[in-house]
Amino acid sequence: MPWLNDENRHWQEKAREVAERVIRPLAAEHDRKQEYPWKVRDALAEAGLFKVWIPKAYGGASEGSQNVLNLCLVVEQLSRACGGIGVLFAVNALGSFPLIVGGTEEQKKKYLPRVASGETLCAFCLSEKTAGSDAQALKVRGVADGDAWRIHGEKKWTTNGGAANLYTVFAVTDPEAKGKRISAFIVESGDAGFSIGKVEDKMGIRCVPVVETIFDGVKVGNDRLLGGKPGYGFKHAMETLDLARPGVASQAMGLAQGALELATVYTSKRSQFGATVNSFQMVQQILADMAMRTEASRQLIYAAAHAIDIGSPLVTKFSALSKCFATDMAMQVTTDAVQLFGGYGYMKDYPIEKYMRDAKITQIYEGTNQVQRLVIARNLIRESANFAFLREFIPTENQNLFDG
């Protein structure tokens, strides 16, 4: 990629090295066992990869307030070898971005250096059984208790739950309020009243745990209320997702790239009708379409991540565009890759079906692709005010539509 700088390439190469040395050889085993691969966490920490999105002032490697582009480059390389490891890594950004966007100086100083070293693993507790896409419909409550807070309720789909020691938890603190109903809290795994409930048995990303998390009157001081002020939880959740969604896009695009590479090799070895199958134009067309879609997603993700890092006002739209486009693309490309492997592609002896299983969740989590389209459309409608001057180019018989 010509415009990546030396630092970008440094992180890309480090991630690639860990992916090929440690992750790919164990991907099938991790998928089968469905256990958290601590050896991989150690290798990621040793390579310093948990530093990439964290500011230098808090033990990280980022010159700015975050570095979404470097995060994306790393997630892409890891996911190329194993999509599960891609999210096992990226979810630490999702869980610590709330601290970066909304934490007090003390909270950042206390927690971020441990995240950067890989010692503290993070999880993001927003979703509940009855609050998925409708993220404001939370039932988990944060109730004032003297100068502290008690958290009551259950969260669903906590990725990294059980492995993580830091949980950012979104809870309703003012149920009667019109806005500012929700606050975010920092919960540590050792806090009394915190426990892990059901451990999910998943279609894909099987090496990373997804669990229910239970908060049975967990008591936290005001120092664990994100930002030190109640009522900003929803805003911080949305700002976090804006930063994190390009990471899901990169997980998807890395999966597509990995599937394309495997399919390219397989079709150059497999022979039918006396020729390798990659000599058939129908196969070549599928390979070419896979490459075109993967590359288009890569360009969109890097551009979106770069725009976010330089403080574009269009962060929400760019983030949703990249997530939606790349994850729909990955589902198609990984499915095409299975098709190119034929009957063998459907079998677990071959590495390719896992790519398709791992890809599916990327269209669902961190906001379904229906929610992404909603976010994109809402932003487009808001931006349409900038093009009001175009009304004069629309025929006058439609004037009544504008007049209302």
Q: Under the rule (CB under 6 A), what is the footprint of ligand CAA?
A: 91, 94, 124, 126-127, 133, 135-136, 157, 159, 179, 234-235, 238-239, 241-242, 316, 365-367, 371, 374-375
Q: What is the 3-state secondary structure (H, E, C) of the chain?
A: CCCCCHHHHHHHHHHHHHHHHHHHHHHHHHHHHCCCCHHHHHHHHHCCHHHCCCEHHHCCCECCCCCHHHHHHHHHHHHHHCHHHHHHHHHHHHHHHHHHHHCCHHHHHHHHHHHHHCCCCEEEECCECCECCCCCCCCCEEEEECCEEEEEEEEEEEECCCCCCEEEEEEECCCCCCCCCEEEEEEECCCCCEEEEEECCCCCCCCCCEEEEEEEEEEEEHHHEHHHCCCCHHHHHHHHHHHHHHHHHHHHHHHHHHHHHHHHHHHHHCEECCEEHHHCHHHHHHHHHHHHHHHHHHHHHHHHHHHHHCCCCCHHHHHHHHHHHHHHHHHHHHHHHHHHHHHHHCCCCCCHHHHHHHHHHHHCCCCCHHHHHHHHHHHHHHHHHHHHHHHHHCCHHHHHHHHC
Q: How far is the CB of 189 from ligand CAA (least distance, A)?
A: 16
Establish whether 176 is a catalytic residue: no
Q: How far is the CB of 248 from ligand CAA (least distance, A)?
A: 8
User: Closer CB to ligand CAA, residue 85 or residue 283?
Assistant: 85
User: Closer CB to ligand CAA, residue 44 or residue 290?
Assistant: 44
User: Closer CB to ligand CAA, residue 61 or residue 123?
Assistant: 123
Q: How far is the CB of 183 from ligand CAA (least distance, A)?
A: 14
Q: CA 5 to CA 10: how far, in whole Å?
A: 9
Q: How far is the CB of 6 from ligand CAA (least distance, A)?
A: 31
Q: How far is the CB of 238 from ligand CAA (least distance, A)?
A: 3
Buried b (16+ CB within 10 A) or exposed e, 109-121: ebbbbbbbebebb
3-class SS at 146?
coil
Q: CA 246 to CA 323: how far, in whole Å?
A: 6
Q: CA 382 to CA 378: how far, in whole Å?
A: 6
Q: How far is the CB of 314 from ligand CAA (least distance, A)?
A: 11
Residue with tokens 């999210």: 87
User: Closer CB to ligand CAA, residue 27 or residue 248?
Assistant: 248
Q: How far is the CB of 227 from ligand CAA (least distance, A)?
A: 14
User: Closer CB to ligand CAA, residue 178 or residue 269?
Assistant: 178
The residues facing 364 across adjacent strands are none
Q: CA 386 to CA 383: how far, in whole Å?
A: 6
User: Closer CB to ligand CAA, residue 103 or residue 345?
Assistant: 103
User: Closer CB to ligand CAA, residue 52 or residue 308?
Assistant: 308
User: Closer CB to ligand CAA, residue 94 or residue 169?
Assistant: 94
3-class SS at 218?
strand
Please identify which of the residues 366, 383, 392, 397 carries the catalytic annotation. Answer: 366
Residue sitting closest to ligand CAA (CB)? 367
Q: How far is the CB of 368 from ligand CAA (least distance, A)?
A: 7
**Catalytic residue IDs:** 366
